[in-house]
Amino acid sequence: MISDIDQWVDKNIFFALLDETKSTKLRLKDALKNIEILYDRGKNTCVLRAFSMHGGLTLFEEQIKSGMEKWISAFNVLGMSLKFTSTESRQNAIQTLIDLQGSLVVTKGLADTSIFKNTLKNIEKRYSTE
């Protein structure tokens, strides 16, 4: 199951962000649309969060770290394509991961999917410099 999710994320989110045959605007739009699908508009809990709870952190530490690095790397490439400095690009990529993960927790806790939806809009604004 986890490997199926990994493959789906690789194909529909990371590849979308890294596909330099498309404009950065379209790459971002496709990735955000697929992030919305992955998390069912904020209704689904993040797998990284579930694995990082209590004993799961020790058991899945490497997978969690690897997953986070993939998210950061993909958004970093997008930022570099937009001519952000390497520092800006990495900071934006990390903030994007924080925003996504944090919004999923808050959305679940408050039972309010508008939080996740607004986060996706804010991420789009962060990368909309074209």
Rg (CA), the chain: 14
Which tens digit of pLDDT belongs to each residue from 20-38? Answer: 999 999 999 999 999 999 9
pLDDT at 6: 82
93 closest CA partner among 52, 130, 127, 58: 127
What's the CA gap between 19 and 44, in Å, rounded? 26
pLDDT at 110: 95
Query: Lowest-confidence range among 27-41, 48-62, 83-97?
Result: 48-62
What confidence tier does 63 reach under pLDDT thresholds 50, 70, 90? confident
pLDDT at 106: 94
- The answer to whether 76 and 90 have CB atoms below 8 angstroms apart is yes
* Side-chain half-sphere exposure of 16, counting CA atoms within 13 A: 19
Structural domain count of the chain: 1
Domain that holds residue 25: 2-126
